[in-house]
Homo-oligomer: A and B are copies of this chain.
Amino acid sequence: MKENQDEFFMKAAMQEAQLAFDKDEVPIGAVIVCQNQIIARAHNLVETLNDVTAHAEMQAITAAADYLGGKYLNGCTLYVTVEPCPMCAGALYWSQIDKIVYGITDEKRGYTSISPKLLHPKSTVVSGIFKDEILKLIQQFFLNKR
């Protein structure tokens, strides 16, 4: 079966998650795509930067807006390996991004555990892409921490 676009870009987000894993960061990666092109890549850097706001999504939003020269991400899609937290969902709301694709659900701290209304009403959401592979990396990370 031919790989679809969402799978193609999620693989790029998974590469970012692996970079986080290699730095001993919770392995979450993200890319932002606009007109079929990756315009921002980022991974979790909370420990490296000593900054709770340094989630992959936050950095990707800032980098994408910088690339586009405007603060809104209309016409863009975020690919992120794990469901965004409320902070990141709130940032995505302000960005007015078109679409959000995530791999696995975060039952404890995903935005849907608070409210789906954290996202902008015009943002569409797709989930579950490569969820087995993504879960495996996360589980390996926490296993190593024991």
- Residues on A facing B (Cβ under 8 Å): 46-47, 50-53, 58, 61-62, 65-66, 69-72, 85-91, 93-95, 114-115, 117-118
Contacts and interface: CB of A to CB of B under 8 A. Distances in A.
A65 B71 CA distance: 25
Identify whether the interface residues of A are mostly helix, strand, loop, or mixed. Answer: helix
Q: How many copies does the complex hold?
A: 2
Contacts of A94: 52-53, 85, 87
B93 A90 contact: no
Contact of A86 (B58, B70, B93): B93
Contacts of A95: 52
A140 B51 CA distance: 34
A65 B45 CA distance: 14
A127 to B, nearest CB: 19
Given A46-B71, A114-B115, 17 more contacts: A47-B71, A50-B71, A51-B71, A52-B61, A52-B72, A52-B91, A52-B94, A53-B61, A85-B90, A85-B94, A86-B86, A86-B87, A86-B89, A86-B118, A87-B87, A87-B91, A114-B114
A88 B88 CA distance: 9
Contacts of A52: 61, 65, 71-72, 91, 94-95
